[in-house]
C-alpha cells in the first residue's frame, strides 16, 4: 500500500471523532466521512472531506475506515446494521474501530469483518477531548498487524503514541489494567490527603510535596486541587471507573491473580456509587474517604 494514495474513511463525528477526522484532513489525507446525523459532516466537508451516505458506502470506497462510536450498541449497529460496514467491507480493505467496547463486541466485529475478507483492528484510546484535538492520544491496538502498519501514517496524526498489543481484545484489556491502577492510586491519594489534613497538614502543601517527589504525575496535579476544593465536575464518570474495577476483578478470577488492593478500592468506589456519586467525576470518591 502506498501511503499517499490511501483513501481513508471516518465513521462517527462526535466530540472525539470530529477532532480526529479534522486532524486527518488537515494532514492532507483523502478522507470520506459519515455520521448518523448527516449535518455534522458539513464542517469537515468544508475542510476538504468527501461525504458518504452510509457506513457500507464508506467501507466499500475506502482502503481503511476508522470509527469511533459512543458505545458498544452504536459500534454494533454501525457494523452489523442495514447499510453497515459489513455490507461494504471486503477485498482486504481495513476497518479500525477506536470505540471503547467490551471484548465480546470487539471479537464479534472482528470475526464478521474477517469472514467478509476484510481486515480488522480494535484501537481504543487513552485520552479525551484535548488530546484528541492535539493529536496526542495514546492508541491501544489489537488485531491485524498489517493493518496497524498500513494505517501508521494516519494513526501517527491521531496520537502521540500507538502500540500494537496482540490479538483483538488486548487493547481493551490494557485499558482495564491502566484504569484499575488509576482507581487504586486515586483512593491511596485521597486517603493520604485526608490523613494528613486531619493531622493538621496543609492540603496544598501535601500536593506540593507530592509534586516534588517520585510520585509526581499528571493525575495528582490535575485531581489534587479538585479534591481539596470538593469540585467533582466530571471528566471520567465514577460509575465507569467502578465498572472497570469490577471487570478487572472478574478478569483476575479468570487469570488467577489476587488483587487485594484493587478489591479494597472497588468496595470504596461501590460505597461512593451507593452514595449517589455515579455521574460525578472519579474524584468524588474523596467524599467517601475524607
Which is closer to a copy of itself, CB of 38 or CB of 257? Answer: 257
Nearest CA to 79 among 87, 71, 90?
87
In Å, what is the CA distance from 227 to each residue of 191, 203, 207, 270, 282?
11, 9, 10, 18, 10
Which is closer to a copy of itself, CB of 80 or CB of 236? Answer: 236
Which is closer to a copy of itself, CB of 39 or CB of 253? Answer: 253
The binding track of 132-171 with respect to a copy of itself, each residue x by CB under 8 A or -, is ------x-x-------------------xx-x-xx---x-
Please report whether residue 216 would count as binding a copy of itself according to CB under 8 A.
Answer: yes
* Binder among 182, 237, 239, 287 for a copy of itself (CB under 8 A): 182
Binding residue count for a copy of itself, defined by CB under 8 A = 72
Q: Residue 160's CB: how many other CB atoms inside 10 A?
A: 13
Considering only residues 33 through 52, tell me which ones interact with a copy of itself, judged by CB under 8 A.
none
Nearest-angstrom CA–CA distance, 140 and 165 = 7
* Binder among 4, 37, 46, 198 for a copy of itself (CB under 8 A): 198
Instruction: List, by residue number, the catalytic residues.
Output: 175
Nearest-angstrom CA–CA distance, 36 and 248 = 33
77 neighbors 140 (Cβ within 8 angstroms):
no
Q: How far is the CB of 204 from a copy of itself (least distance, A)?
A: 10
Burial-class residue 6 by CB neighbours within 10 Å (0-12, 13-18, 19+). middle
DSSP 171-210: HHHHHHHHHHHHHHHHHHHHHHHHHHHHTT--HHHHHHHH
Query: For 94, phi and psi rounded to 5 degrees?
Result: -110, 150
Point out which span in 18-26, 42-50, 79-87, 174-182 binds a copy of itself (CB under 8 A). 174-182
Which is closer to a copy of itself, CB of 92 or CB of 235? Answer: 235
Which is closer to a copy of itself, CB of 111 or CB of 267? Answer: 267
Please report whether residue 180 would count as binding a copy of itself according to CB under 8 A.
Answer: yes
Please report whether residue 203 would count as binding a copy of itself according to CB under 8 A.
Answer: no
Q: How many CA atoms lie within 13 A of 80 on its CB side?
A: 14
Nearest-angstrom CA–CA distance, 94 and 118 = 6
Q: How far is the CB of 198 from a copy of itself (least distance, A)?
A: 4
In Å, what is the CA distance from 247 to each residue of 242, 266, 267?
9, 10, 13
Nearest-angstrom CA–CA distance, 129 and 126 = 11
* Binder among 146, 205, 233, 234 for a copy of itself (CB under 8 A): 205
Which is closer to a copy of itself, CB of 71 or CB of 208? Answer: 208
Which residues, listed in sequence order, are joined to residue 97 by a DSSP beta bridge?
67, 122
Please report whether residue 196 would count as binding a copy of itself according to CB under 8 A.
Answer: yes
Nearest-angstrom CA–CA distance, 13 and 35 = 6
Q: How far is the CB of 59 from a copy of itself (least distance, A)?
A: 29
Cell 517527589 belongs to 213
* Binder among 31, 174, 227, 241 for a copy of itself (CB under 8 A): 174
Considering only residues 223 through 282, tell me which ones interact with a copy of itself, judged by CB under 8 A.
246, 248-249, 251-253, 255-268, 270-271, 273-274
* Binder among 3, 152, 222, 230 for a copy of itself (CB under 8 A): 222
Amino acid at each position: 500500500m502506498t501511503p499517499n494514495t490511501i483513501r481513508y474513511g471516518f465513521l462517527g463525528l462526535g466530540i472525539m471523532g470530529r477532532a480526529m477526522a479534522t486532524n486527518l484532513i488537515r494532514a492532507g489525507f483523502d478522507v470520506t466521512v459519515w455520521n448518523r446525523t448527516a449535518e455534522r459532516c458539513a464542517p469537515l466537508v468544508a475542510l476538504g472531506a468527501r461525504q458518504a451516505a452510509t457506513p457500507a458506502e464508506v467501507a466499500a470506497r475506502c482502503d481503511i475506515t476508522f470509527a469511533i462510536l459512543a458505545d458498544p450498541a452504536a459500534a454494533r449497529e454501525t457494523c452489523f446494521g442495514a447499510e453497515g460496514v459489513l455490507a461494504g467491507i471486503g477485498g482486504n480493505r481495513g476497518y479500525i474501530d477506536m470505540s471503547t467496547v467490551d471484548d465480546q463486541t470487539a471479537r464479534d466485529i472482528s470475526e464478521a469483518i474477517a469472514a467478509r475478507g476484510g481486515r480488522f483492528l480494535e484501537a481504543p484510546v487513552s485520552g479525551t477531548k484535548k488530546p484528541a484535538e492535539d493529536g496526542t492520544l495514546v492508541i491501544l491496538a489489537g488485531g491485524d498487524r498489517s493493518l496497524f502498519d498500513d494505517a501508521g501514517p494516519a494513526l501517527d496524526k491521531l496520537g502521540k503514541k500507538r502500540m500494537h498489543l496482540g490479538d483483538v481484545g488486548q487493547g481493551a484489556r490494557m485499558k482495564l489494567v491502566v484504569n484499575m491502577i488509576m482507581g487504586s492510586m486515586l483512593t491511596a491519594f485521597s486517603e493520604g490527603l485526608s490523613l494528613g489534613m486531619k493531622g493538621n497538614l496543609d492540603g496544598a502543601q501535601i500536593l506540593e510535596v507530592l509534586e516534588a517527589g517520585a510520585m509526581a504525575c499528571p493525575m495528582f496535579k490535575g485531581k489534587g486541587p479538585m479534591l481539596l476544593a470538593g469540585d467533582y465536575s466530571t471528566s471520567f464518570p465514577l460509575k465507569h471507573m467502578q465498572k472497570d474495577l469490577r471487570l478487572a476483578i472478574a478478569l483476575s478470577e479468570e487469570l488467577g491473580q489476587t488483587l487485594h488492593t484493587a478489591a479494597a478500592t472497588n468496595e470504596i468506589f461501590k460505597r461512593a456509587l451507593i452514595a449517589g456519586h455515579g455521574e460525578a467525576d472519579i474524584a468524588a470518591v474523596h467524599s467517601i474517604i475524607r
